[in-house]
Structure 1
């Protein structure tokens, strides 16, 4: 397997409609079960970009860099072991809607099976986000 995978999901909604859902970090548990079963704001950061996330792999800290107009939903996750993983998520315009594009990077020491499991979890999350956005009134 390669060291980087692009996971894509087409959504029959505009970038603005998808960003209205995806950029609301408090809604992560609704669609990102592979990452967040619970979330609370990290009050030590005044700008609201940092959150404490209950993830399947432990309690982590996520700092979001969101640019609604440009469709950017990047986030750096500080893992329980102290390492930081940069996650790149874009919402890009496409014919008849938009496309979610998540760049999954193989982490040091990650074997093919772990990367495949991560890819499957992210793909499931992107499908849930698509379904959530497409259920909304346009």
Structure 2
């Protein structure tokens, strides 16, 4: 994930939290993934129509890598052997499931920042906000919850 290589982990624009992938101990990346996919699986068991995604590690399953402060999740659909080709998808909290996103993570984040990316359930900048003024990334170390 190029974003992690360049910036590390943290919160983007005070809104999207990226989990620490190589952390050991209780709050490691795998803990977040397992908690998220377990929750998705439970919801899917009761309402499959509203939760249509397969769940990681199933082929084509949702592999979450970040979550928003609004309770939305961002992740990949593990389709095929090459993770660099896996489509990015949003699991929205307050909207119907949309299709996979057309671009990769960095381009998607730039598009959101510019106000040109729309994904079901994800926040969009206020039309009067200057995207440059609100660009921020707060990096975290192993003491962070995420």
Q: TM-score range by the shorter chain?
A: 0.3 to 0.5
- The two structures have a TM-score, normalised by structure 1, of 0.38
- TM-score, normalization by structure 2: 0.37
> Whose strand proportion is higher, 1 or 2?
1
